[in-house]
Chain A
Amino acid sequence: MSDIVEKTLTALPGLFLQTPGAGGPAAARAPFSSRLGGLIRGITALTSKHEEEKLIQQELSNLKAAVSAPTTTLKMMKECMVRLIYCEMLGYDASFGYIHAIKLAQQGNLLEKRVGYLAVSLFLHESHELLLLLVNTVVKDLQSTNLVEVCMALTIVSQIFPQEMIPAVLPLIEDKLQHSKEIIRRKAVLALYKFHLIAPNQVQHIHVKFRKALCDRDVGVMAASLHIYHRMIKENSSGYKDLTGSFVTILKQVVGGKLPVDFNYHSVPAPWLQIQLLRILRLLGKDDQRTSELMYDVLDESLRRAELNHNVTYAILFECVHTVYSIYPKSELLEKAAKCIGKFVLSPKINLKYLGSHSGSSTPDDNN
């Protein structure tokens, strides 16, 4: 089954690239598709802000006519949308185009839908009244058999979604948590993270599913669940102390190089993941001796392993040191951490000096 999906996906780019190649449509399309280029060249040729304003207003009135004309095809609409995004980025109002962006996301084929969703995520905000019109499209796409559409819908949910409509899509997204494709599981976790951010009481009942995501065999899904855990532990660390063992195990595996080699960044294994885990451990171990004792080994190991002189290893070292300072103190670790900060402050790299001296102010006293 997955071979068929792969074959189909491999064939897709070829199919889509063929259409511009066709003779007649291409000739008509070419001047249209270079209109963004023309607009930009026009702007860069101008010298004053006043002229730029005039040109953009002219462009915007052309676009207004184009988007409301009944003869505009979806393809042309896509092109108009890109120019609208550009104008909005420069600071000019293009609110007449918002409804058309939603329409594009609703009715377009894959490419057009993608531009439609992109435009919606850039133009609208969470309390915008037009956003409600998008909900139906999102629900439809979440139930689609086309994986790319599901991905796009999940992405837009995690970027911008009205709070009152969460109950409408929540069961669909919970369903996706068990999908066979890891990218969909990962996006579903991220969408739920977004829900947790805007309406935590609505996702209370699915904490059990987050635990499953934490133990997921795919590293991406597991890493996505860490965002949620970081937030929840920040709010209430005592509820999650039982997970300390799992986080320590995961960090041990990352530091020990057990992840697939894809996760190496300049031969450092998954640095951002390490940083995230260290932050979570910091929250869990604060003022708690028993929990902190579970972490000493892995912190020691991280300090030892981060020997390479790359920017990102400094980031990991910095996090390690902070964690060592925040949890229940252990003297050998504190000594190593202090040496590390010393090296930072003495380093010729200005960023490290700044961070080193900044963190010096948060060193704990020796009294406890």
Chain B
Amino acid sequence: MIQAILVFNNHGKPRLVRFYQRFPEEIQQQIVRETFHLVLKRDDNICNFLEGGSLIGGSDYKLIYRHYATLYFVFCVDSSESELGILDLIQVFVETLDKCFENVCELDLIFHMDKGGLSAAPARAVSAVKNINLPEMPRNINIGDLSIKVPNLSQFV
């Protein structure tokens, strides 16, 4: 199960923070900071899987991350998830954002948090990927789960 989805830039500023388990706010911020420090130390040619920090939930949880230009996409998952599957899920997520906003960059994430329904986009991408309609992704994975025939309604769902 996915515990959390964090997106932050090279300086640790959070761009998208989505926890699927309840943590008090200070702990959430601490987790973001700790994750940033863990991920920053990683070299580019090292494995993309990390043991989770002590705050997130202990030994059962892993951090799976990918670094794209100025952004780090980090998924915190437990052992029931396939690591390579999650790596591709991150790829799907980024491709979705790319279709939502042409040639997506960090500024799109910042300025259009609600327009793309971005905070919900991870949930969409996750549920959509797990029940996938992939090539239609461009047109409806911005919402991810309206059926293929329905036109783009990214603002509504």
Contacts and interface: CB of A to CB of B under 8 A. Distances in A.
Q: Is the A/B pair a real complex?
A: yes
Interface of A: 2, 6, 9-10, 12-13, 16, 36-37, 40, 78, 81-82, 85-86, 88-91, 93, 110-111, 114-115, 118, 121-122, 125-127, 148, 151-152, 155, 159, 181-183, 186-187, 190, 219-221, 223-224, 227, 230, 261-265, 270-273, 275-276, 279, 311-312, 314-315, 318-319, 350-351, 353-355
Contact of B155 (A16, A155, A279): A16
A84 B26 CA distance: 17
B66 to A, nearest CB: 11
A190 to B, nearest CB: 7
Contacts of A115: 114
Nearest to A79: B114
Given A271-B88, A272-B85, A265 B134 contact: yes
Interface string B142-157: 0001111111110111
Contacts of A118: 114, 117, 119-120
B113 A85 contact: yes
A276 B131 CA distance: 10
B123 to A, nearest CB: 7
A9 B151 contact: yes
A182 B87 contact: no
The range of chain B's interface size is 35 or more
A265 B137 CA distance: 10
A142 to B, nearest CB: 15
Contacts of B55: none
Contacts of A219: 131
Interface in B39-79: 45-49
B10 interface: no
A40 B132 contact: no
Contact of B148 (A12, A262, A279): A262
B127 A190 contact: yes
Contacts of B119: 85, 118, 121-122
Interface in B64-105: 80, 82-85, 87-89, 91-92
Contacts of A148: 153, 156-157
22 contacts: A12-B153, A13-B152, A82-B114, A85-B119, A89-B14, A118-B119, A151-B145, A155-B120, A183-B146, A183-B147, A230-B80, A262-B133, A263-B134, A265-B92, A270-B132, A271-B85, A273-B131, A311-B84, A311-B88, A314-B84, A351-B49, A351-B84
Interface of B: 14, 16-18, 22, 25-26, 28-29, 45-49, 80, 82-85, 87-89, 91-92, 110-111, 113-114, 117, 119-120, 123, 127, 129-136, 145-153, 155-157
A223 B132 CA distance: 9
B132 A263 contact: yes
B77 to A, nearest CB: 13
Contacts of B46: 350
A151 B157 contact: yes
B19 to A, nearest CB: 9
A227 B127 CA distance: 10
B149 A6 contact: yes
Contact of A187 (B45, B130, B136, B145): B145
A255 B93 CA distance: 24
B84 A318 contact: yes
B47 A262 contact: no
A37 B111 CA distance: 6
Nearest to B146: A183
Contact of A13 (B49, B85, B87, B155): B155
A194 B84 CA distance: 25
A88 to B, nearest CB: 8
Contacts of B150: 6, 9
A81 B47 CA distance: 39
Contacts of B120: 118, 121, 155
Contacts of B47: 350-351, 353-354
The 3 closest A-B pairs by CB, nearest first: A315-B84, A223-B131, A91-B29
Given A118-B117, A121-B120, A314-B84, 7 more contacts: A9-B151, A88-B25, A126-B22, A181-B147, A182-B147, A224-B131, A318-B82
A29 B109 CA distance: 22
A148 to B, nearest CB: 5
Given A6-B149, A187-B145, A223 B130 contact: yes
Contacts of B148: 262
A126 B123 CA distance: 17
Contacts of A2: 149
Contacts of A350: 45-47
Contacts of A183: 145-147
Given A111-B155, A114-B156, A183-B147, A355 B83 contact: yes
